Structure 1
């Protein structure tokens, strides 16, 4: 299998300048570089740049995959918009993720190096497009991405069975979360088990206008002025900064009306995933068995119709056998043998198997020199 590597970088918060693109062009003469992206693939050789350095300097998202089983996703987040302590609650026992600080940003680096290579490849350019919304979700306070990362560690066995899940659940799954689970080959049954419970408030939940107004009204005047000034200056993170505040307030209201549910442990999630898998496999087995019986019944009906038609044709069938044999080719021999097999079944039904055996022996003797045809008579007797 030849080597294949795919690199894609994307900027969200600001476009690349002409000077930026010239520097990036020095790293690769073949890469496709736009005002918001850098993309290249390699079937030989390697990328001269350091993905970490590119993320620190220019980009907000990076995806890498190689057909020997390495998959990587990097996300750069403004650290003032992310509670690092909350992230640590998800990631303290996870080996496949690294969170580093670079200036005013956090860089989340998720790397898996031992995944089974795919037998086929989708369009690689679709992956980052599908995963990109995760960054905005995190900045909006939706941390289910990190629950999935924690779930990767559960699947790998590096989480203690009695450790509680870091969120009440991850349901309902979004397209981006589903893409993440598929990209990193997360156990689909484990994801389904986790998604049976809702996560509480998510980035897709509509925010109450009343809660928004009351949340903003409670802010100190100085903070309101600063936020408005940043908004007027084109700061794209103002909304992301406010949404978690509003969501937390809305979550308090909704959780007060919702009965408390004990968090599930990693062991319970794995056990439930096993139950889901067993139920699915049982259902698949039942469907296969039902399909087998349906096909068997269909074959029996077709065989009965064929035998009835042969019985109505009488002696002409024996003449047809001889005609097919005289074609002296594989198709003719196959047709003749098939007709003889049906004639044998009819003889068994009628109790005339002795007469059939004599006629079959006569055919065998007449065509004894047609070795390939004689070979086809062995299953008949």
Structure 2
């Protein structure tokens, strides 16, 4: 496949009406279009429309993947629920993200190019794992943007002395891990950043009850009316309030400290990986030796029948027969070395060589047997 592009859009807050679906169908006759989604892939050609306009007019989420290494994620959110000033402070060093207002909404457009990525996939199913990040941002969790800042640290766009925009990102959630993986953000840098966090964004049931009890009755009534009217943002708005109250000051690290810590994490991970590989190698060697001992014991019990099996394999005059004969000869050679009967073994092999000298393919294999027949040629 010379070219592959995958587009997926999702409508979260408001389903598409018939007019919107008809407009999308006029753009693409092949796409899968529902009341809440649009998806299509292209092996030749491209989407006949502007994804930015799709987002401004119809959708809340967009994911794009191209097999040449481009990854893109877009989010549309009500501007009144997003702290633009806080976001701008985090992403000022990041050139892979663009933010703009469209009516009452804010659109966040993230795009990174990772040429030569060896774990590329077709993008299907990816958006479902990233979708919860939108609600996180709406409730005041800006760790998604910290990860974008971390990508700039990875790309050496951030000086060592610059301080991290948030006091860590612990604990990592599944959607945050999926985001870092999707945009190829260095996992050791992510691990370093996730070693600390000012607040995990969670609140106990008791604290939740206490905080909700402090809301004035008239405001509670307004919130309940919004719930009755189907406002989808009441929950995220309340979580944002509680998150703001729970925030605590914390010491922040510099980009240089994060880079050094990531290096130590990488070295420890590579040592652990090497130890696991060595443990596995030793296990395989032990299992192979155990299997070899079993084979040699059985071989010894079979006696002269083994030499007849070797002759039968040779006479089949095909690769499988030759391989069978050579496997038996190799085991017999090992047995002869253990029992001190190399002379008898070498004599038998020389006789086999003489009887089958015209079978060139077999003789090639026999030459690779190693010392034992006294006539190996290299």
TM-score, length of structure 2 as denominator length: 0.88
- CA 1:369–1:156: 2 relative to 1, 3 Å: same
Structure 1 contact 211–250 (Cα < 8 Å) conserved: no
For the residues of structure 1 that align with 2:31 and 2:301, how far apart are their CA atoms?
A: 73
1:357 is aligned to 2:356: no
For the residues of structure 1 that align with 2:157 and 2:204, how far apart are their CA atoms?
A: 32
Find the residue that maps to 1:197 and give its secondary structure: coil
Shift of 1:129: 1.7
Partner of 1:53: 53
For the residues of structure 1 that align with 2:91 and 2:212, how far apart are their CA atoms?
A: 31
Find the residue that maps to 2:367 and give its secondary structure: coil
1:376 is aligned to 2:326: no
Find the residue that maps to 1:159 and give its secondary structure: coil
For the residues of structure 2 that align with 1:200 and 1:183, how far apart are their CA atoms?
A: 25
For the residues of structure 1 that align with 2:256 and 2:29, how far apart are their CA atoms?
A: 50
Partner of 1:330: 319
Structure 2 contact 198–250 (Cα < 8 Å) conserved: no
Structure 1 contact 137–143 (Cα < 8 Å) conserved: yes
For the residues of structure 1 that align with 2:179 and 2:203, how far apart are their CA atoms?
A: 17
2:295 to 285, 301, 306: 306
Partner of 1:239: 235
Structure 2 contact 5–42 (Cα < 8 Å) conserved: yes
Is 59-68 or 87-96 further displaced after alignment?
A: 59-68
Counting matched residue pairs gives 369
Find the residue that maps to 1:110 and give its secondary structure: strand
For the residues of structure 1 that align with 2:79 and 2:52, how far apart are their CA atoms?
A: 17
Shift of 1:209: 0.8
For the residues of structure 1 that align with 2:328 and 2:235, how far apart are their CA atoms?
A: 78
Find the residue that maps to 2:177 and give its secondary structure: helix
For the residues of structure 2 that align with 1:112 and 1:8, how far apart are their CA atoms?
A: 17
Aligned pairs for 1:160-309 (under 5 A) are 160-202=159-201, 208-214=208-214, 216-217=215-216, 230-231=226-227, 233-251=229-247, 255=248, 261-309=250-298
- Give the 4+ runs in structure 1 shifted more than 6 A: none
- CA 1:33–1:204: 2 relative to 1, 3 Å: farther
Structure 2 contact 199–246 (Cα < 8 Å) conserved: no
Give a deviation string over 1:280-304, Cα, whole Å, max 9, x none.
Answer: 2211211111221222122222223
Shift of 1:99: 1.0
Partner of 1:42: 42
For the residues of structure 1 that align with 2:34 and 2:70, how far apart are their CA atoms?
A: 26
1:146 is aligned to 2:145: yes
For the residues of structure 2 that align with 1:337 and 1:226, how far apart are their CA atoms?
A: 86
Find the residue that maps to 1:208 and give its secondary structure: helix
For the residues of structure 1 that align with 2:178 and 2:15, how far apart are their CA atoms?
A: 25
Structure 2 contact 163–255 (Cα < 8 Å) conserved: yes
- CA 1:27–1:350: 2 relative to 1, 3 Å: closer
Structure 1 contact 115–185 (Cα < 8 Å) conserved: no
- CA 1:173–1:115: 2 relative to 1, 3 Å: farther
Please list every run of 5 or more consecutive structure 2 residues that lacks an aligned counterpart in the other structure: 370-375
Structure 2 contact 73–109 (Cα < 8 Å) conserved: yes
- CA 1:375–1:150: 2 relative to 1, 3 Å: same
Shift of 1:225: 6.8
Please list every run of 5 or more consecutive structure 1 residues that lacks an aligned counterpart in the other structure: none
For the residues of structure 1 that align with 2:148 and 2:51, how far apart are their CA atoms?
A: 21
For the residues of structure 2 that align with 1:63 and 1:250, how far apart are their CA atoms?
A: 32
Find the residue that maps to 2:114 and give its secondary structure: coil
- CA 1:107–1:306: 2 relative to 1, 3 Å: same
- CA 1:325–1:97: 2 relative to 1, 3 Å: same
- CA 1:316–1:199: 2 relative to 1, 3 Å: same
For the residues of structure 2 that align with 1:120 and 1:163, how far apart are their CA atoms?
A: 32
